[in-house]
Amino acid sequence: MIPKIYLRTDRTKMNGNCVVYLSIIINRQRKVYSLNIEVSPENWDGKNCKVYKKDFKHEIKNKLITHFKSKAENILTKSILSDKKITLSDFDNCFTNNLYGSVDFYEFVKNEIEIRVKNSETHRTYVTQLSKMKQFKKELLFSEINKQFIADYKDYMIKVLKNVPNTYHKSISMLKTFANWAVEKELIEKNPFADVKTPKEPGKRDFLNVIEVKKLENFYNSDSINPGVKNVLRYFLFTCYTGLRFQDVLNLKYSDLKKELYKGKEFSIISIQMHKTGLPVDIPIIPKAAAYMPKMISINQKIFNVKTGTTTRKHLETAANLAGVSKHITFHVARYTVGTTGLENGITIETISDILGHTDITITKRLYAKTDNTFKYKEMLKFED
């Protein structure tokens, strides 16, 4: 199984050069690999498998030859040390993997993000996390990924970045995901974060009360609102009455609506599979929500002109400031608004859970049943009776 380096002189290029190859035999099966290194036969040292100094690029060519030979030998050595019988297919998968043996963890993660992550928001989140790690440690070798690194990184996030538990747990969770990718590619044997816990603690969940929603609606209907801000506020207010996530609003088409009757009157229902969970959900569109839907031109058109996450957040911040709403509003806030104001107005928690597309009603109870003090006060007033 010893890899062999040789110059293939039976095939000569127009310029008189030949190409260097690597040959390997495993289980009586032979495979050859072109190393894409061109050498003139007169400059080739066949005994030592290297390029003579007469070739003005001999240094770089010899380094490449050494690299490929070492890579092949490392693959074979690793299989012997792990007491694992290697096949020619196993060798080929490793040898043709450009990242095999790489020591640059960041470069590996960057490449994997581009290959694996198609969702734009998830892509942005992963890239942001990678940048955050680089701020802590400019370069990171695979050999440095261990529990001490986790402890030091966590300490940095707490003391320097002032991250709250949910924030630094999210960062460590994503680092664990990146390490799992490396395990899949056999770049590391075991994920050092496998037994590291990243619990999610209940956080403060902002929502808009009736007065704050009304302020945004008044601003939406004012003459002074910027068209771009109005467009974003349109689909945000629609979400305040439907509870849809950002990605679901982005994908929503008129073809996703179906008609039903209530007391002899026709109304529309959003009937989709939620982007995050893949589960079906039906959400009735009440008149307040329907008022924000543009006129349909085509049944297959998207209902809203949804901008990027960055533009949406920027315009929502502007809308909140100009409308006199002090809270930082996001699409999560819109969903929480549906949950909390729904409870306040007497909608059953089972219905709210169904509308928000939660997989378990305990999720709804955990997120919303303890949020609104106004609702709790109203309920506690029953003792007065």
**Span 82-98, pLDDT tens digits:** 777 889 998 998 888 76
Q: Are 26 and 84 in contact (CB under 8 A)?
A: no
- Strand segments, DSSP code E, in 243-301 are 257-262, 265-273, 280-284
| Average pLDDT value for residue range 24-40 | 93
In the structure, what pLDDT confidence band is assigned to residue 100 with cuts at 50, 70 and 90? low
| Phi, psi for 95 (deg, rounded to 5) | -70, -35
Percent of the chain at pLDDT exceeding 70: 84
In the structure, what pLDDT confidence band is assigned to residue 350 with cuts at 50, 70 and 90? low
Q: Which of 178-182, 189-193, 209-213 has the lowest mean pLDDT?
A: 189-193
Q: Does domain 210-384 have CATH number 1.10.3720.10?
A: no
- 156 token code pair: 């940095």
| Average pLDDT value for residue range 243-252 | 91
Percent of the chain at pLDDT exceeding 90: 40
Residue 33's nearest CA partner among 78, 9, 69 is 69
Q: Are 110 and 130 in contact (CB under 8 A)?
A: yes
Q: Are 86 and 72 in contact (CB under 8 A)?
A: no
| Phi, psi for 25 (deg, rounded to 5) | -120, 120
In the structure, what pLDDT confidence band is assigned to residue 62 with cuts at 50, 70 and 90? very high
pTM: 0.54
**Span 276-286, pLDDT tens digits:** 777 888 888 88
Q: What is the per-residue pLDDT for 238?
A: 94
**Span 115-173, pLDDT tens digits:** 888 877 788 889 999 999 999 998 887 777 788 888 899 999 999 999 988 888 889 88
CA 69/CA 143 separation, integer angstroms: 22
Mean of pLDDT over the chain = 84
Q: What is the per-residue pLDDT for 274?
A: 83
Q: Are 252 and 302 in contact (CB under 8 A)?
A: yes
Give the distance from CA 218 to its chain's centroid.
36
Q: What is the per-residue pLDDT for 167?
A: 87
The amino acid that residue 124 corresponds to is: R
- Indicate the domain borders of the chain: 4-95, 105-184, 210-384
In order of 66, 77, 85, 93, the CA distances from 81 in angstroms are 22, 6, 10, 18
- Assess whether pLDDT exceeds 80 at residue 287: yes
The amino acid that residue 284 corresponds to is: P
159-167: Cβ within 8 A, 24+ apart = 161/132, 164/203, 165/199, 165/201, 166/200, 166/201, 166/203
Q: What is the per-residue pLDDT for 292?
A: 95
